[in-house]
Each structure stands twice: as structure tokens, then as C-alpha cells.
Chains A and B, each alone.
Chain A
């Protein structure tokens, strides 16, 4: 009888042994194993991404010459606008440098722009992450800000040999300081609940009481620059609702993020100059 009882409990005993054995494995071994399993499967991710690029290339080859000429003209118009913006940008940078010297202010961090293709998107209800096709081989550091034309994408969470994982701003695990455009009081931003078939979302806390945000009168939320990770003024999203919190001192609210976060194919990593 006792043998039969043990036989019934054998799966649980086996599981207990596995759990205890796993708990006793040193952290260094677990970290090494994690990296090894990631690198084992990284070629699959990168190869699938390159196959998609090839598909896109061949679909673009199907365009007619007239369409290409039109696209070239559009690109030329955009390039001329950007040339003007670049010259203005250089003047503004020179002005900032002059004022920093004059007022003896600490200068803003400077960045190297590293453009990277998105290899894989992983948007579950628990987390939202991207795998990009550049990693330690391009000197990308952990924690570097990642942006796109619509504003902030997220932050580099892990760096591997040829890939890096970016945690998106819609991910509940990401928190950062933002400000309402035109205001200088910091607000806490966190990724929120991302409903199915709905645009990505986040939440804000610590919103001053005098700020009114409604769906009809939304407010733009931008990075504050505090903490030194994200440069100031980058678009985070739009605060569409602000309501008074339980303490009555601050408001909390909802932030609608850029819908393009779900379909990104290329992003830019801001690598701080002087990063190891």
C-alpha cells in the first residue's frame, strides 16, 4: 500500500526535485543558458526577417517605371524640405552651444544615430517587445533610447551578439518621466493595457490638477529629459483623459500611443556618445 501511495505521488515528487534542482543552479549558469538559447534561435529570427525584406524587394520590383519616377519626385521634394530643416538645425545647435558657454550650463547628451531593421514583434498582453537586427556588434548599449518618426519607441532592454531587444513604451514594464507640451512639471508615464484591435495605450500618474485633457481636447505628452536617458521633447503620445485620483492632489489619465508602433519595420537607436 505505501508503495502504491508513493507511485501516485511520483509526478509531484519529480516536479519538486526539478524545482529544487533549478533553484540550486547558480545565476551565472542561468544567465549563460539564457544567452545560449537566445543565440541558438537568433538565426531563425534574423533569417525570417531577411526573407520578408526580400519579399518586399520583389514586390517593389513589380512597380512600373512611371510609379518609380513619381516616387523619385516625391522623395526629391521631401529631401529639399529636409535640407532646409538641417541648415536650421545646425544654426540652432550653434546657438545652444553659444548660450551654454555664455551661461555655463551643462550641455545635453549627444547621441550617435544607429538605424536598425525590426526582425520580430512580440506584443502579448503581458509585454510588448521588438527584436532589432543590430546588437553588440554595432555597440548598442542596454538602456539606450529607441525612436521613430512618430516619437519614442522604447528602450533597449537586452543586447545580444547581433540583435537587441527593445521594450516598447506600451509595455507595462516601462516607466519614464514625461511632461505635457508647454508645461515643465514632470508626470509619470507607464505602459498600459493594450486591448485587442485597439491602438496601443499607456497611463499617466501625478498629473497636476490644472491640466485638463479630454478626448475632444487632448494634450501632447513628450519626454521630460529628466534622468538623462531620453532627450527632452520627444513625442510619447496623447493624453486623452485626466481624472482626479483618490488622494485629490493629482490626476491620473490615459495616453493614446502612436498606432504605427504595431507595424514598425525600422527604428533608430540613440547611442550616447562615449558609451562603452
Chain B
């Protein structure tokens, strides 16, 4: 429980940071999507149950602020968590570069899946892709910069909660 709460608290910090950045970038019509960060650390290093619960809770926070069916982010994050958890033994843990690569690939998949669920609302679905691609590029650059810090933040949160950093 403490592990899940520590991970969820870090997710709230991430959510607050990303929403404030999006607020600042609104005038330039740039939007950052950082879905993979809600999932990656927990999926790569934490026990299955606690990590999945934290990913779903993070998804529900995103859902509460978006005009989408409640649970869409949560289900996408859960799917991403399960996929990452399955391959985590083949990914070097504690290595920043591999963590960034995993986060970027996960974010790409989440962004595309989310876009396909939302694109029907657009009056001109084909014309929206340049904007989405621009947002995706900005998001990936942002994630590449922020991932090591956020992984360290989550590790710090676990230390504060007095639970081990890695799943035994």
C-alpha cells in the first residue's frame, strides 16, 4: 500500500508539472503528452500489483481532467504497464539510456492509441495529424529530458516511504 501511494504521489507531481507546462505552452498551440512516465518506472522496477495500481490511479487522474470516457487513460496505462512488465527482464534496469528508450517507445504507442480513439471528434480527421505529430515530437523531446529526473524522484519517494527501490 505504501509503495502504491508513494508511486501515486510522484505521479501527481508529474501531472501537476505537465499541466503547468501545457498551460504555459497554450499560446503556442503546443501540447505535451507524458503518459509513458506514469507507467514506465513502476513497470520496470516494481512488483506487479503495486505498479499496476499506481498506473491505473495515475490514469484516473488524467481521465478526470479530460473530456474522454472515464477510464480510457487508466486502461491504456494498464495495458502499457502489462506489456512493459512482461519484457522488463530483457531491459537493463537502472540504466538511464535504456529507460529513456523504453519511455519514448511506450509514449509513442500510447499517444498513437489515444489519438486513434479521439480523432473521430475532429471535423477534418486527416488534417489534424500535422498538429498531433508536432505535439508528439515536442513530447518526446520533453520526455527524453525529464525521464532520468522523474525516475530519480520516484526512487526518492520510495526511499521516503521506506520501501525497497527494486522488486526482489
Q: A-side interface residues toward B, CB under 8 Å? A: 11-12, 14-15, 18-19, 22, 30-31, 33-38, 40-41, 44-45, 48, 120-127, 129, 157, 167, 172-173, 190-198, 200, 203, 262-263
| Complex: chain B residue closest to A121, CB-CB | B26
Q: Is A30 touching B70 in the complex (CB atoms < 8 A)?
A: yes
Q: Is B60 touching A196 in the complex (CB atoms < 8 A)?
A: no
Q: Is A122 touching B122 in the complex (CB atoms < 8 A)?
A: no
Q: Considering the complex, which residues of chain B in the window 22-68 have a beta carbon less than 8 Å from any beta carbon of chain A?
A: 22-23, 26-31, 33, 52, 56, 60-61, 63-67
> Does B153 touch A at the CB level, under 8 Å?
no
Q: How many chain B residues touch A (Cβ–Cβ < 8 Å)?
A: 48
Cα(A86)–Cα(B124), bound, Å: 43
Contact of B75 among A19, A122, A203 (CB under 8 A): A19
Q: Is A193 touching B122 in the complex (CB atoms < 8 A)?
A: yes
Cα(A122)–Cα(B114), bound, Å: 16
Q: Is A197 touching B124 in the complex (CB atoms < 8 A)?
A: no
- Give, as a whole number of angstroms, the nearest-CB distance from B5 to chain A: 13
Cα(A121)–Cα(B29), bound, Å: 11
Instruction: Note all chain A residues with C-beta closer than 8 A to B74.
Output: 22
Contact of B64 among A12, A38, A262 (CB under 8 A): A38
Q: Is A44 touching B12 in the complex (CB atoms < 8 A)?
A: yes
Q: Is A194 touching B83 in the complex (CB atoms < 8 A)?
A: no
Q: Considering the complex, which residues of chain B in the window 86-133 have a beta carbon less than 8 Å from any beta carbon of chain A?
A: 86, 114-115, 118-119, 121-124, 127-128, 130-132
Q: Is B23 touching A122 in the complex (CB atoms < 8 A)?
A: yes
Q: Is A126 touching B115 in the complex (CB atoms < 8 A)?
A: yes
Q: Is B131 touching A263 in the complex (CB atoms < 8 A)?
A: no
Can you name 20 A-B pairs with beta carbons within 8 Å? A22-B74, A30-B70, A34-B63, A37-B63, A120-B19, A120-B20, A120-B23, A122-B26, A123-B22, A123-B26, A126-B114, A126-B121, A157-B67, A192-B124, A193-B124, A196-B131, A200-B29, A203-B124, A262-B28, A263-B27
Q: Is A124 touching B123 in the complex (CB atoms < 8 A)?
A: no
Instruction: Note all chain B residues with C-beta closer than 8 A to A190.
Output: 123
Contact of A196 among B70, B78, B114, B135 (CB under 8 A): B135
Q: Is B67 touching A127 in the complex (CB atoms < 8 A)?
A: yes
Contact of A122 among B63, B64, B65, B82 (CB under 8 A): B65
